[in-house]
Amino acid sequence: MDSKREKDNVTECAKITNVLLKSRTGEFDLESILFLKLRKLGIYDLGCIGECLNLERLDLSGNNITNLGPLSTMRRLLVLNLSANRISNLDSLSSCESLQSLNLAGNVIPSIDNLHALKSLRRLESVRLKDNTYNYSNPVCKNSSYRTLFLEMFPNIKVLDGERVVGRGSDLYQLCKDIDDTIKAGLFKNCQIPDVPDCKPWVDDGFWDIKRSNNAIVDEAYKQFSDVLHECRLLNSRAAHVISQNERSISLKNQPKQYAV
């Protein structure tokens, strides 16, 4: 009887249903759901998730998903985590026109050609196909030139596999490289420094200031960091409780025995 009940529970989680979504979010109306995390539930069928038309952030990592068809209705989706699934076809994502951040590490995407479906996503800024932290990758990553080919296909991408490819990081690198090349080329002429034309400042005012951005990628990073901090606080509280119990138990054991006279 118990094994049958466990099997039924697995079946319920294997497909996304109205009941599952409502129990996870507390929302009666699926169109009211903006954030959804369904990690490591054994999901292989996305079911009715396409009815969450206003969803902005979705985490489906660590499941058994192969078919992304139901995601094609999500035109407001900003951040999508599909890491650690069994995905090879991305065609259904071509209509997710608002998508900015996409994590596909740990799937079975075979080649660069399978990424063509993403070319219509004009707002896409960050894509992850491999994640060394969790040892996630894709067959396409075995191609020694995949990174170059990817950036040629997606020239507007800012972050690939967690590494910034344009923006402040690369601007500074290029600036230093240009200066280094100039020094090597000119060095000294007749033991004198060559004339140098008027140069612009290295960076604009406030370049180094840390400012919070409304960018979806940065917001997601803040959210994940907050989640980690919360989990750390819970673990610390549990550890303190266990230590306190053990200390009390040891103290009781060490007390001298008293005998009635």
Domain positions in the chain: 2-164, 214-244
pLDDT digits (tens, 9 = 90+) for 173-213: 555 556 666 665 655 555 555 554 555 555 555 554 544 44
Burial state string for 105-132 with b = 16 or more CB within 10 A and e = fewer than 16:
bbbebeeeebbebbeebeebbbbbbbbe
pLDDT at 86: 97
Instruction: For residues 24 and 35, give the distance between their C-alpha atoms in angstroms, rounded to a whole number.
Output: 10
Distance CA 27, CA 34 (A): 10
Residue 233 to residue 255: CA distance in whole angstroms = 33
Tokens, residue 3: 């094994």
As beta bridge partners, residue 126 has 101, 159
User: Is the pTM here over 0.85, yes or no?
Assistant: no
Interval 143-165: pLDDT, tens: 989 999 999 999 889 999 988 88
| Phi, psi dihedral angles at 128 (to 5 degrees) | -125, 120
Instruction: Encode pLDDT of 25-52 as tens digits.
Output: 998 899 999 999 999 999 999 999 999 9
Quick check: 6 pLDDT over 70?
A: no
The matching CATH number, chosen from 3.90.870.10, 3.80.10.10, 3.40.50.1370, 3.40.50.2000, for 2-164 is 3.80.10.10
Q: Is 55 exposed, middle or buried (0-12, 13-18, 19+ CB in 10 A)?
A: buried
- Whether residue 130 is predicted with pLDDT greater than 80 in this model: the reply is yes
Mean pLDDT computed over every residue of the chain? 80
In order of 53, 88, 114, 127, 177, the CA distances from 157 in angstroms are: 26, 21, 17, 8, 22
AA letter at 68? L
Residues 6+ apart with CB under 8 A from 117: 89, 90, 91, 92, 93, 94
pLDDT at 248: 79
